[in-house]
Structure 1
Amino acid sequence: MMTDQSYISDVAIPPGEYLEEVLEDLVLSQAELARRMGRPPQVINEIIKGEKAITSETAIQLEQVIGVSAQFWNNLESEYRLVLAKEQELLKVQKETEVVASFPYLEMSKLGMVKRTRVAVEKVKELQKFFGVSSLFNIKNVKEYSPAFRLCEKDTISREAIAAWLRTGHLLASEQDVADFSKNKLRDNIENIRSLSLEPDPNKMLSTLTSLLNACGVALIVIPHYPKTYVTGATFWYGKNKPVVMMSMRGSWADIFWFSLMHELAHILLHDKRITFIEGNTVSEEYRVQEEEADDFSQETLISKKSYEKFTSKFDFSPEAIFRFSQSIAIHPGIVTGRLQHDKYLSHLQHHHRVRYKWK
Structure 2
Amino acid sequence: MAVIDSAREFAPDYAVPPGETLVELIEERNMSQAELARRTDLSAKHINQIAKGHAPISNDVALRFERVTGVPARLWLNLENRYQERLARLVDDGALERDLHLLDELPIPAMVRMGLLTKYAKPVDRLREVLSLLGVANRSAWVEMLRGLQVSFRMSKSLAPDLAATAIWLRLGEIEEAVIACEPWDRKAFRKTLSDIRSLTRVTDPRVWQPQLGDLCAASGVAMVAVPEVPGARTHGAARWMTPHRGLIQLSIRHKWSDIFWFSFFHEAKHLLDETKRSIFLSGKANDSPEERQADRFAQNFLIPPDRAVELPGLRTHDDVLAFAWSIGVHPGIVVGRLQHERIWPYSRGNDLRQRLRFETRMDA
TM-score range for the pair, normalised by the shorter chain length: 0.7 to 0.9
Q: Provide the secondary structure at the position in 1 that maps to 2:99.
A: helix
User: Does structure 1 residue 355 correspond to structure 2 residue 355?
Assistant: yes
**Partner Cα distance (1:192, 1:11) in 2:** 61
Provide the secondary structure at the position in 2 that maps to 1:359: coil
State the distance in 2 between where 1:217 and 1:89 align: 40
- The normalised TM-score by structure 2 is 0.71
- Residue 143 of structure 1 deviates from its aligned partner by 7.2
| Change in 2 beyond 3 A, CA 1:254/1:345 | same
For the 8 Å contact 1:148–1:163, the answer to whether it is kept is: no
Question: What displacement does 1:108 show?
Answer: 4.0
Q: Which residue of 1 aligns with 2:328?
A: 329
Contact 2:158 2:286 in 1 (8 A): no
- Is residue 2:265 matched to residue 1:265? no
Residues 66-94 of structure 1: per-residue CA shift (max 9 Å, x gap): 84128946951679998776555323322
Report how many aligned residue pairs link the two structures.
298
Distance 1:191 1:84, change over 3 A: closer
**2:46·2:55 contact (CA, 8 Å) conserved in 1?**
no
What is residue 97 of structure 1 aligned with on the other side? Answer: 100
Distance, in Å, in 1 between the alignment partners of 2:148 and 2:254 is 21
- The CA distance in 2 between the partners of 1:212 and 1:144, in whole Å, is 34
Partner Cα distance (2:15, 2:332) in 1: 69
Cα distance, 1:304 vs structure 2: 1.1
What displacement does 1:103 show?
Answer: 2.5
2-structure distance, mates of 1:269, 1:143:
26
* Cα contact 1:148–1:159 (8 A) shared by 2: no
Q: Compare relative contact order (CA 8 Å, sep 6+) and give the higher one, 1 or 2.
A: 2
Structure-2 separation of matches of 1:133 and 1:71: 39
User: Does the alignment pair 1:224 with 2:223?
Assistant: no
How far residue 156 of structure 1 moved from its aligned partner, in angstroms, is 6.5
Q: Report 1:226-241 matches (<5 A).
A: 226-241=230-245
1:68 pairs with one of 45, 51, 66: 45
Structure 1: stretches of 5+ with no match in the other structure: 1-8, 14-62
Larger radius of gyration: 1
Distance 1:161 1:236 in 2: 18
8 Å contact from structure 1 (residues 224, 250) kept in 2: yes
Q: 2:48 & 2:294 partners in 1: Cα distance?
A: 66
Give the deviation of 1:174 after TM superposition. 0.9
Shift of 1:146: 2.2
Structure 1 residue 137, shift from structure 2 partner? 3.7
> Identity percentage over the alignment?
25
- Determine the structure 1 residue equivalent to 2:7: none
Structure 2 CA distance for aligned equivalents of residues 321 and 112 of structure 1: 44
Alpha-carbon deviation of 1:295?
0.5
Q: Which residue of 1 aligns with 2:135?
A: 132
Distance 1:310 1:145 in 2: 45
1:46-85 matches, cutoff 5 A: 67-69=44-46, 72=49, 76=54
2:208 maps to 1:208: no
| SS of equivalent residue, structure 2 residue 215 | helix
CA distances 1:285-318 after superposition (whole Å, capped 9, x unpaired): 8xx1111111011001000111111342x3x332
Q: Provide the aligned C-alpha RMSD in A.
A: 3.5
What is the match of residue 20 of structure 1? none
Structure 2 gap ranges (5+): 1-12, 18-40, 57-79, 361-365
What's the counterpart of residue 195 of structure 1? Answer: 199
1:208–1:10 Cα change, 3 Å: same
Q: Secondary structure at the match of 2:45?
A: coil
Question: What TM-score, normalized by structure 1, do the two folds share?
Answer: 0.72
Separation in structure 1 between the aligned mates of residue 195 and residue 333 of structure 2, nearest angstrom: 18
SS at structure 2 position matched to 1:68: helix
CA distance in structure 2 between the aligned counterparts of 1:81 and 1:210, rounded to whole angstroms: 45
Q: Distance in 2 between matches of 1:318 and 1:150?
A: 35
Q: 2-side partners of 1:155 and 1:334: how far apart? A: 25
Query: How far is 1:348 from its partner?
Result: 0.9
